[in-house]
Amino acid sequence: MQILLQQKRLKKMSTKNPLLTAKRLVLKIGSSLLVNETTGQVKNTWLNALADDILAARERGQQVIIVTSGAVAVGRRALGLPTGKLLLPQKQASAAVGQIRLAHYYQEVLGERGLKVAQILLTLDDSEDRKRYLNARNTLNTLLDLGIIPVINENDTVATSEIKVGDNDRLAARVAQMASADALVIFSDIKGLYTANPRKDPSAKLIPVVEKLTPEIEAMADGAGSAVGTGGMATKLMAARLCMEAGCDMAIALGSALDPLTRM
């Protein structure tokens, strides 16, 4: 596990894990973890294991928000689109088809555990326009107070290259800010931030704690690591900066194993 957090919060780590004690917790799930790259199908075994983790978090008294990717990855296979980079209209069409399927997966798997979910689609404007920001925040707070788990994705069906957030790592950080969350966990296909890309450099070392995002730290980041993902370590560090500004703890955690939250 890797924690990216503010200097003033470091002392808390020695006595208790802020990810387990956070009253309001945001979980970000990437496409490569959720969707099979070859078939375009949701990984049901993995999603069910995550649902067990979420149920355990709720039983600890934590409020949970999910920020999920995967709509485009699911939808493009359903539409029979070829692999490779999609044109914006193709991506929007894939998102329109995939989002309804993705929401159904979450509703079904969490509903089996007695948990209720709500779908929210956001664009960058929703986090930057004051009125829309407040409306979205009020909706989030109301849902959480009612015991509902918000499932959030970027609204790719209407977003354009000029207004879209660009990746769900930064969207998750914006949501954490909006909801005044105590902690954000970004599940990744890598353990955390390394001194270099460990897939290319076997001598790369994991950095367990980052106290400050310096130019040297940011230079260690690399791009997306899978065909279905759009983020990368660079976007995760951008998300970390947003969290630091909001006083929110953040962790980058390996999510490929079953029960990823429990294993942290």
pLDDT digits over 175-225, tens only?
999 999 999 999 987 777 888 777 788 888 888 788 777 787 877 775 444
Average pLDDT, the chain: 83
CATH code, domain with 243: 3.40.1160.10
Q: Is position 115 within any domain?
A: yes
- Percentage of the chain modeled with pLDDT above 70: 86
Q: Is position 126 within any domain?
A: yes
Q: Is position 206 within any domain?
A: yes
Q: Classify 66 as helix, strand or coil.
A: strand
Rounded CA-CA distance 257/264 in Å is 11
Q: Is position 9 within any domain?
A: yes
| pTM, full prediction | 0.86
Q: Is position 263 within any domain?
A: no
Tokens 């934590």 label which residue?
62
**Which range marks the domain in which residue 202 is found?**
2-254
CB 185 within 8 A of CB 150: no
Q: Is position 245 within any domain?
A: yes
pLDDT at 4: 54
Residue 15 has pLDDT above 60, yes or no: no
Q: Is position 259 within any domain?
A: no
> Domain count of the chain?
1
Amino acid in the structure at residue 205 = K
**What end-to-end distance do the CA atoms of the chain give, in Å?**
6
**Residue range 80-97: mean pLDDT, rounded:** 89
Q: Is position 88 within any domain?
A: yes
